[in-house]
Structure 1
Amino acid sequence: MNYGFAIKSGDGNNENDHAGTVQLLADVLGDGLPKIQASGLTFYGVKLIYACLRSITKKHMKWCMHTCIELKQKFPDLICGFDLQGQEDAGQPLAYWIPELLDMRARDHGGDTDINLFDAILLGTKRIGHGFSIIKYPLLMQLCKEKKIAIETCPISNEVLGLCPTTKAHDLPILLSNCVPCTINSDDPGSWGASVFYHDFYQALMGSNNLSIPGLRVIADWSIEQSCMNSDMQEKVYRDFEEKWFVFCQWIIDAYGQ
């Protein structure tokens, strides 16, 4: 959810404020979730990360943080984090926002530039978006392992934006070989014409000879462990996934086994 965008009201004459926008989503989920589950489809709900651009003024940043906290208080089951977005070397570094960020627990987008990685971890982040340059710093990788900080890798986005020449040169295999918690994400699927994150999983699998079915299972487990779901929901999702994984593996054996 980006503070710079607004959704029109039903009649198209007015713009919903942020609370109105989140309320709209809450209403849709309240009506639609039981129907989706009754149809047999797997859907566990959604979470929102409130995002603002790192290039805005401190006055606007404080407004964003205050709004995010208000939304979290009003919609505790929907709002799950706060993020700074935008090209890192074209906006303010995380260090610029330390006084503001120390007032709230932050979920940071960092790692396109080296210094932001250090600051993100020092600020107590739980996840790091991209984290593309972290493999240059073994100490930071070790800290991510110890503190269970997930690296949100985005293979297709990193290739499209020129951070790596091809998916084969992506950092994901290095992170996995060092047991750094990772998730596979789509970053901006609409911009790449991708279908959620299925394409990214395929690219990651095809881009590394060392990433196989067991490796994908580890990434899937990390995705559940590092999610914003509460422990009860995580256990439910894990049980459901375990059943589907068993069916999937059995299909591979039946279809391709000797």
Structure 2
Amino acid sequence: MNYGFAIKSGDGNNENDHAGTVQLLADVLGDGLPKIQASGLTFYGVKLIYACLRFITKEHMKWCMHTCIELKQKFPDLICGFDLQGQEDAGQPLAYWIPELLDMRARDHGGDTDINLFDAILLGTKRIGHGFSIIKYPLLMQLCKEKKIAIETCPISNEVLGLCPTTKAHDLPILLSNCVPCTINSDDPGSWGASVLYHDFYQALMGSNNLSIPGLRVIADWSIEQSCMSSDMQEKVYRDFEGKWFVFC
């Protein structure tokens, strides 16, 4: 959820505030989720990460964090994290926001530049977006393993944006060979017409001779373990997935 995003009111004359926007989603989920599940489709709901741009002022950042906390208190089952968006080397590094970030548990997009990786881990993040530089630092990979910090890899995005020339040069196989928890993510699928996940999983599979179907199963298991779902929901999702995997194989 980008702090700059707004939805018009029903009459089109006003904009909903952030709480109003999240309430719209909560209402839709409350009405639609039981119907979807009753139809036999697999859908467990939605979580939102509140995001703001990393080049805003400190005062604006404090406002964003305060708003995020208010939304978390009002919608505890929907809001699951806080993120800084934007090109990392063109905005402020994480160290610039340390006084603000220490006031809350941060879910950081911190992997495109080296220094942000160190700061994200020191700040206690649970997931790192992209994490593209982490393979250069064995110590950081070890810390991610010990602290169970997931690396959100984005194969198609990294190729499209020029971080790697092809998916065969992506760092996912290196992370997997070092047993670093990873998830496969789509980043901005709407920008290049990709599906939410299918295309990225396919690219990951085709990009490495060492990544097999069982390897994708491990990544899928990590996706459940590293999610923001409650323990009870994770167990339910895992049981459902186990049954579908058995049929698939």
Above 0.5 in TM-score? yes
Give the match's secondary structure for 1:239: helix
Shift of 1:146: 0.2
Output the CA distance in 1 between the equivalents of 2:111 and 2:245: 32
- Cα shift at 1:192: 1.3
Question: What is the aligned-residue RMSD (CA, Å)?
Answer: 0.4
- When the two structures are superposed, what TM-score results if normalisation uses the length of structure 2? 0.99
1:198 matches 2:171: no
**Cα shift at 1:13:** 1.6
Deviations 1:164-220 (Å, cap 9, x if unpaired)? Answer: 000000000000000000000000011111111110000000000000011000000
* CA drift at 1:9: 1.3
Find out whether 1:33 has 2:6 as its counterpart: no
Superposed counterparts of 1:1-258, under 5 Å = 1-249=1-249
Give the SS at the match of 2:50. Answer: strand
Consecutive unaligned residues in structure 2, runs of 5 or more: none
CA–CA separation in structure 2 for the residues paired with 1:111 and 1:48: 20
Between the aligned partners of 1:242 and 1:67, the Cα distance in structure 2 is 38
Q: Following the alignment from structure 2 to structure 1, what is the Cα–Cα distance between the partners of residues 148 and 191?
A: 30
How many angstroms apart in 1 are the aligned matches of 2:161 and 2:29? 34
Give the match's secondary structure for 1:65.
helix
Partner deviation per Cα, 1:137-170 (whole Å, 9 max, x = no partner): 0000000000000000000000001000000000
TM-score (normalizing by structure 1): 0.96
Per-residue CA deviations over 1:80-101 (Å, capped at 9, x if unaligned) read 0000000000000000000000
Write the deviation string for residues 23-53 of structure 1: whole angstroms up to 9, x where unpaired: 0000000000111011111100000000000
What's the CA shift string for 1:109-140, capped at 9, x where partnerless? 01100000000000000000000000000000
CA distance in 1, matches of 2:2, 2:242: 34
User: Secondary structure of 1:25's partner?
Assistant: helix
Total equivalences in the alignment:
249
Distance 1:98 1:121 in 2: 12
**Identity level (%):** 98
Runs of 4+ in 1 over 4 A off after TM superposition: none
Q: Distance in 2 between matches of 1:192 and 1:179?
A: 30
Q: Which deviates more from structure 2 when the two are superposed, residues 4-13 or residues 156-165?
A: 4-13
